[in-house]
Structure 1
Amino acid sequence: MTAESEQPVASTSYIPPTKYILSKAHLAAFQRSQTHQDILDFVDDLNEAIVGKKLTEAGEGSERTKPIIGILESILEIAKSTPPVDNKLSRFGNPAFKTFYDKVVDASRELHSRIEGLPSEGIPEVEVYFKESWGNKQRVDYGSGMEFNFLCWLLCLTKLGVFTKEDYQFLVLGVFWRYIEVMRYLQSTYWLEPAGSHGVWGLDDYHFLPFLWGSGQLKDHKYLRPKAIHDPEILEAFSKEYMYLSCISFINSIKTASLRWHSPMLDDISAVKTWSKVNEGMEKMYKAEVLGKLPVMQHALFGSLLPFPTPEQDPELKKALQEEGEVPQPDAHGHIHVKGETGWSMDCCGIPVPSAFAAAQDGATPHGGTPTFTARSGIKPIPFD
């Protein structure tokens, strides 16, 4: 991170985060902003902190991070106390998730009061990212945008001085990985749908960052190579040590056939020669396909800790908005639809995709029948070479 972004933010005027990205002009302004750079720097710093480190080397964390683990355990307990309702006739999201979500919202203020160093007046701003990290209540779905909110939550806490760079290794191997484990419980319990009808063409129906940071863990490994994801014995031996391999094992456990059928992009990436190249490509891909895509970033939230540039601060934005004319407005579901968007995350709310967990229970593929999505139109070449 830059010297400026490493400094804790002292603020007496916290702002509840809200959506700002309504058009391509707004997205371009975000990409030029200091907030965009801070996010990329944070991702990169966390990535560098875990190179060569195993999940089993996470340790117990510091006094600063222990309350965060406690909060994640509380979320898991809320989920366990909110079982799914009988929904046998549907392979889509379970309505009990909405009850779970309301319970998280109700508990949020108390959960945040446990965090040492977090100003009480800053909680209303920070907790918005936390609440949005668990999925969408209306659609009962989850995707890389919700995962992005968890990243923003950690970044806001870092900006407020709750964490230091000494915590970065544990933030990934301890905190973030526990978040992934809790999310897997929520996904399997409530059959959360992948956010966006093209989720099955991405790295994972739900997640991106475990693959980015997971390839970072393996970056300098002397023996394991990307093609090792096809070796069941290696997966069994090392999936408890490395996020990337754990994610592959998880996908294999709920989907039939080979990666070539249900996760073609992961299959393509396995042909890359080194983990260093994979890691480099993942960072480029995250910047382009998550932070650079309007269907994902239209849901991004900005406040005082992660500010959005005003037209006065960014003359290019002011000019572009004048040239664009009428700015697209969200539909009833809060979505912006812009023609010409391409990429694996292009559809934010197309035809709903059943949860792979529901399909697995039915003994079918997520779409029913034999997988047929080998032709991946709209997906750009992977930036791994």
Structure 2
Amino acid sequence: MVPKKEISVVPDMSKWKRSQAYADYMGFVLALNEGVKGKKLSTEYTVSETVEKLLDLLETLDRWINETPPVDQPSRFGNKAYRTWYSKLDQEAEALVSALIPADKCAAAPEIAVYLKESVGNPTRIDYGTGHEAAFAAFLCCLCKVGALGADDRLAIVFRVFNRYLSVMRKLQRTYRMEPAGSQGVWGLDDFQFLPFIWGSSQFVDHPTLEPRHFIDERVVNEHQQEYIFLDCIKFINEVRQ
């Protein structure tokens, strides 16, 4: 079935947290967290056909950005060309998803496609935030539920697919000057992302030399950001602030 909004008021959160969907989603996030624990991005891992197809999908989204340049407008933020870019995804999402999932699960494409479309920002507000990022994790979780991805894909999901998703979202944010959705200000490490700090911190478990106190050292960040998602996010934040 095509998903619809079920959380509108605070009490709805209790229903969500008691649901099987919540258990599946949290289990997925924690399984990936366990999978990357103590591992660098250069760690060897298998790259399945579905992972390759996901990378192709993200490459398509990236290419559409190049094909849809920002328009001249009086407002500094929220470039309206984003809506043109988003309309391409809106039209093609089900076809893109159908190419990822087993043929006998094709009926699930309309359901899964909603999470893909929700993962790239809001075309009305032209903003992007952690809720959209959470939708991308739900999209990946759905691919696991229908058997397109499996336990052997855990490292590739984080290190290849999610990392590539981050780069495409950063390009979207910069190209179309997207507003942060629901920014937490000083309470958030990043206005746009949250999951890379969960999975990224797991990479540092039992690290022999690097500790959180080192992460404010620009030299350390620059030296290690290609191996650690957490540090790559810090580097990006520093670049944006400059």
- Is 1:101 paired with 2:86? yes
Q: 1:80, 1:60 → 2: CA distance?
A: 30
- Name the counterpart of 1:211: 197
- Name the counterpart of 2:212: 226
Letter in 2 for 1:228: H
Q: May I ask how many residue pairs the two structures share in their alignment?
A: 241
Q: 1:84, 1:59 → 2: CA distance?
A: 38
- Pick closer, same or farther for the CA change 1:16–1:100 going to 2, 3 Å: same
TM-score scaled by length of structure 2: 0.95
2:39 is aligned, of 53, 69, 81, to 53
Q: 2:208, 2:164 → 1: CA distance?
A: 27
Structure 1 stretches of 5 or more lacking a match?
1-14, 257-385
- Is 1:242 paired with 2:228? yes
- Pick closer, same or farther for the CA change 1:74–1:199 going to 2, 3 Å: farther
Find the residue that maps to 2:50 and give its secondary structure: coil
- Name the counterpart of 1:176: 162
- Pick closer, same or farther for the CA change 1:255–1:58 going to 2, 3 Å: farther
| Shift, 1:199, TM fit | 4.8
Alignment check: 8 A CA contact 1:78 1:104 kept: no
The percent of aligned pairs where both chains have the same amino acid is: 43
- Is 1:74 paired with 2:68? no
- Name the counterpart of 1:282: none
- Is 1:92 paired with 2:77? yes
TM-score scaled by length of structure 1: 0.60
Instruction: Map 1:129-278 onto structure 2 (within 5 A).
Output: 129-199=115-185, 201-256=187-242
| Shift, 1:134, TM fit | 0.4
- Name the counterpart of 1:117: 102
- Name the counterpart of 2:51: 65
The CA RMSD measured in Å over matched residues stands at 1.5
Kindly report structure 1 stretches of 4+ aligned residues shifted beyond 4 Å: none
Alignment check: 8 A CA contact 1:144 1:206 kept: yes
Q: Normalized per residue, which structure has more helix?
A: 2
Alignment check: 8 A CA contact 1:199 1:206 kept: no
Q: Which has the larger radius of gyration?
A: 1
Alignment check: 8 A CA contact 2:128 2:179 kept: yes
Find the residue that maps to 1:57 and give its secondary structure: coil
Structure 2 stretches of 5 or more lacking a match?
none
2:8 is aligned, of 22, 30, 48, to 22
